A and B are shown apart, each in its own frame.
Chain A
Amino acid sequence: MRSWISDLGYSLRRLLRSPGFTFMSIALLALTMSVVIVWFVILYDTFYRPLPYADAERLVFVEFHFIKENTDGRTDAGDAQLFAHHPEIFERESAFSRGLEWLSNGPGVEPTQLSLIFAEPEAFAIFEMHPIAGRLPNAADATARSPRHILVTEHFARERFGSPGAAIGKLLPLHSGQYQIIGVFPEYPLSVGVVFWIPSLYTPEQLAESAGLGYGLVSIVGRLAPGVSPLEASRRLTALVTGDRRWAGSPFASDVQIIAAPLRTLWTYPQERLLMYSLFAAALALWLITVSNVCNLYLARLAGRQHESGLMSALGASPGRILWLHAQDGQIIAGAALAIALALAAWEFMGVRLLEMFPGSPYPLQLDLPGVAFALLLASLLAGTLVTNAWWMERRRAGTREDLKIGGARHSAPREIQVLRTALSVLQVTLTAVLLVGAGLLIRSAQHALHLDLGFEREHLLMTGINMPGPPNAVAFVDLTNRFAERIRALPQTHEMTRSACNPLAFLNSAPYQPPGSQDADVSHWAVATFCPETAANYFAFMHTPVLQGRPFNDQEARDYAAVAIVDTDFVRKNFSDGQALGRTIRISGSLDGTAMLDNRPSDSPPAITTLTIVGVVSRVTMPWAVREQNVLGPYLYTPGPHGVQLLLHTTAGLGPLSTDLRKELRELSPEAMLGGTRFATDVLDEAVRYLYPANTALSVLAAVTLMLAAVGLYAVLAYSTQIRQKEFAIRLALGESPVGLRRSVIRQGLRSSALGLVLAIPLIWLTGQALQSQLFRVKTFDPLTVCTVAVVVAIATLIATWWPARRAERADPMLALRAE
């Protein structure tokens, strides 16, 4: 043991005598290792970490898909009712929906907004949730009133009440009423960020008087019946939906597909999977290249210690003992790199969480046991590789006498190793260029999307509205919205205001229309338009959406629900070959009164058929969420009305203070009503772009790290090369080379490596562009601007990396040429 400690101390001292090699190797290894660890955890948690449920493979999430548009819809309460009680498909089935609630913090204090889940009691059983205090909810809890029943997270219980046990039975003053805590849950993978669970039922009876539960988006999960495959379940569910009366006669019926997808699809998409694997592979390659570089430096270091090996051998050390001493360096490097990498990874996870890179991850992203195990594996591989190097060098020793002849001078690594090292630095530049171009293409796409002309003026445009707890009452809702709109209009911060039943920032409706010239009365054969009823007279002027032909609606038309329409250019192009739409009539299936849209409970009466006269043509607008696939949205058709529940205003006020004012105004009108989504158009667009390009931030960070590593790698190769070439430089100086010439030669060496790396990157860049094609927006797969920018960035990084080695070459002492070995 004492001998081991003594050897360890000796190795440490030797490493500290070469601080450049030691610290650079450890720093580079730790940095790249931490990136690989972080990506491993993200991948593992997202795709492979076992879900904490028995028979997890039988758990499915029901997805709504539109085949022709290749887009996903969402299931609602009606679907939940439809899928219930089908033992031939589900052994168990349940529904839940997400929402937000305001927790009162006392008089005069701003309430806190918290995330919650309305879930049927069956959902708790499906997800095998067990309270750490209190009990699981049952059907009686879902129907309980005054106080209603609620379950909370352990964290919340501890923070508010001191312990989970102390929270049981306590009352929580939420915006929608008083809730009594009946259970406390630990944090579950599928409910990261959720604080409350409210037991609910999605039956028609309960929906009629459900607390805080509407007809909005409802997620459906189920455990498949034994022997039923997800494919078979999908087929049966699709048949159920298309055969349902809600879809009878709808032109969408043949377009609908219900997919029983594995539970993991709740948080991942196929294109994200490809992207995440690519990023992990890139990070791993980066680490391997760093390991290779360190191995190379290590080999050069071992080569320089042949004299020491010879001396130790002469003093009686066995080959095994010499190998052990040399190998200890590698173990110390690997151990130090591991420790720093784990610390760095913890910081990087904080960054990942802070930047919300993977908001949908099922587990909280943090350094967990699998991450630490993977880190240990990486460190073991690293230590093993370094020890193998030491073993290889020990085997290459010519003999004690020859080693002693070397005289202890520092020797360069063998020529083939130098070539290998240069090749590795070239490869590193290649990889960097590919990553930079990939990141550049996506960033340019995102920039294009951000600056896309949406067809309306986005600056200072704020959308707002109200949410009503309790059973939906369309008339009361519209009445409250009318009064709220008047209050908003009177606010000094409001410069201008308009209303509509839908707006391109948040919500669009659709309606079948009879194509002009068609005599087919079957609505299911009609085309589908993006339908915006309840459009105020000032809507187009407010939105700065140009009226290209005809005129906007007038106040009278808006008040009277006049049978007139304004269509967009896409509608004209698709339906009027002569381009003349003004004065033409069209028939639509749907009510002009937007109040009907609010009450979407199943109805036996067929939708009304209305004939409209086109009075104007406007330019096309785009939803921020659909910038990449604008064709998904049908042609637009607007009809006038006075009661649009989507409120839009122009204001220069900040979101925070304005929201507070709006909330105050609303509270005065109705203590129960809650302020709906209140956001600026620019924020919505920004969020949409971040949603469309979820990996942009991660890719950019990785590309930047790669660039830095490539520069450092190139620096290391050149710095070491410059160091071992000092004699050569002295000879060149003696032969008449100028110092400036030497500096240029080193810079040329670096630039040559980078240029070669860039040339080798070209086919890979092309392949990367092809792989990213579906993600690109208005950017070519081989974008010359991006490629040239990357080349310049790499050249600048190379110049920076070569500067100091070049300076060192320039300062070589020519007298060295006169000194014999």
Chain B
Amino acid sequence: MPAADVASRGNGAPLIRLEQIAKIYYTDDLETHALSGVQLEIRRGEFVSITGPSGCGKSTLLGILGLLDSPSAGEYLLDGVAVQSLDHIERATLRRRDIGFIFQAFNLIGDLTVYENVELPLRLRGDSSTADRRRRTLEALERVSMSHRLKHYPAQLSGGQQQRVAVARALVGSPSIILADEPTGNLDSVNGESVMELLRELHQAGSTLCMVTHDPRYSDYAERSISLFDGRVVDERSREEGRS
């Protein structure tokens, strides 16, 4: 996709819009405010990183963005749809259609082969033929350079290879946004860089990415960086602003 198109998509209506999002956990008589008054917009084609120290609410925010969790208060619009009132089935439908996940611990299913792991989101959608699924799965694996390991099980792969497969799984369904939770957290620096390059390529090809990381080196890959502290957005700056 030409760079100009990418830029124009980024300037359109926000894909994600969070309004005064709060998340409160209750344990016995203790009330923990994981997120408070979070305002956030992510436009199509953007690469946004969310940074902050451990326990600042990064993963909680990602869980809400990925419809894995619901906010205690506030409004969440995904592609213009208010999602906080959706039931489990509707949220699952949105997840398999619009969201791709990359996890810190890779989260490949140990009983499935590389091919089956990547094919899984397409199978869950159930709207494509076997041939179509196969074509798209192989394409995704080609993009992450893992098409030579189709029949391997996750345990037979290195950490870097597993995360590449996880990236292929996230992008195979052409989701509206890919959410990455510390994608380099379990990798050494060489493999970490490699995965970040892969994400950069995806972004350049037009994908919308939102990545949680605590490593400032990797947040520089994003166009825009949002800093969280104690559940609040304390800073937001573009890559250029960051460099200056």
Contacts and interface: CB of A to CB of B under 8 A. Distances in A.
Interface of A: 415, 727-728, 731-741, 814-815, 817-821
B63 interface: yes
B81 interface: no
Interface of B: 59, 62-63, 66, 68-69, 88-89, 92-93, 95-97, 99, 101, 103-105, 107, 109-111, 120-121, 124-125, 169, 181-182, 185-186
Contacts of A735: 95-96, 101, 120-121, 124, 169
Most chain B CB within a 10 A radius of its CB, from A727, A735, A821 = A735
B235 to A, nearest CB: 23
A820 B105 contact: yes
A738 B68 contact: no
Contacts of B95: 733-736
A818 B68 contact: yes
A46 to B, nearest CB: 49
B19 to A, nearest CB: 22
B69 A738 contact: no
Contacts of A819: 59
Given A727-B107, A734-B68, A735-B101, 16 more contacts: A415-B110, A734-B66, A736-B92, A737-B124, A738-B89, A814-B63, A814-B69, A815-B68, A817-B107, A818-B62, A818-B63, A818-B103, A818-B181, A820-B103, A820-B182, A820-B185
A814 B68 contact: yes
A817 B68 contact: yes
Contacts of B121: 735-736
A736 B181 CA distance: 17
Nearest to B90: A738
A415 B68 contact: no
Nearest to B63: A815
A736 B124 contact: yes
Contacts of A820: 103-105, 182, 185-186
9 contacts: A415-B110, A732-B124, A736-B99, A738-B88, A741-B92, A817-B68, A818-B103, A818-B181, A820-B104
Contacts of B93: 736, 738
Contacts of A818: 59, 62-63, 68, 103-104, 181
A820 B125 CA distance: 26
A496 B103 CA distance: 89
A717 to B, nearest CB: 15
Contacts of A739: 88-89, 92
A590 B116 CA distance: 88
B135 to A, nearest CB: 19
A737 B104 contact: no
A381 to B, nearest CB: 33
A814 B104 CA distance: 15
B32 to A, nearest CB: 14
Contacts of B109: 728, 731-732
A737 B103 contact: no
B212 to A, nearest CB: 9
A819 B212 CA distance: 13
Contacts of A728: 109-111
A821 B107 CA distance: 10
Contacts of A814: 63, 68-69
A445 B124 CA distance: 50
A736 B66 CA distance: 10
A808 to B, nearest CB: 15
B90 to A, nearest CB: 9
B68 A733 contact: yes
A664 B175 CA distance: 95
Contacts of B92: 733, 736-739, 741
A415 B111 contact: yes
Nearest to B97: A736
Contacts of A731: 103, 107, 109
Contact of B89 (A740, A815, A817): A740
A676 B189 CA distance: 100
Contacts of B169: 735
Shortest 10 CB-CB contacts between residues of A and residues of B: A736-B96, A738-B92, A814-B68, A736-B95, A820-B105, A731-B107, A736-B124, A818-B59, A820-B104, A734-B101
Most chain A CB within a 10 A radius of its CB, from B95, B96, B107, B111 = B107
Nearest to B104: A820
A739 B59 CA distance: 22
A731 to B, nearest CB: 5
Nearest to B155: A415
A818 B120 CA distance: 18
Nearest to B181: A818
B3 to A, nearest CB: 30
A819 B69 CA distance: 13
A741 B104 contact: no
Nearest to A816: B68
B151 to A, nearest CB: 16
A97 B125 CA distance: 81
A613 to B, nearest CB: 85
Contacts of A732: 109, 120, 124
Nearest to B170: A735
Contacts of B107: 727, 731, 734, 817
B21 to A, nearest CB: 16
A815 B69 contact: yes
A415 B101 CA distance: 26
B9 to A, nearest CB: 23
A735 B169 CA distance: 9
A3 B105 CA distance: 42
A235 B2 CA distance: 108
Given A736-B93, A737-B96, A738-B89, A817 B124 contact: no
B103 A736 contact: no
B120 to A, nearest CB: 6
A739 B124 CA distance: 12
A740 B66 CA distance: 19
B105 A821 contact: yes
A432 to B, nearest CB: 27
Nearest to B166: A731
A480 B175 CA distance: 101
A727 to B, nearest CB: 7
A738 to B, nearest CB: 4
A106 B106 CA distance: 90
A731 B92 CA distance: 12
A734 B175 CA distance: 13
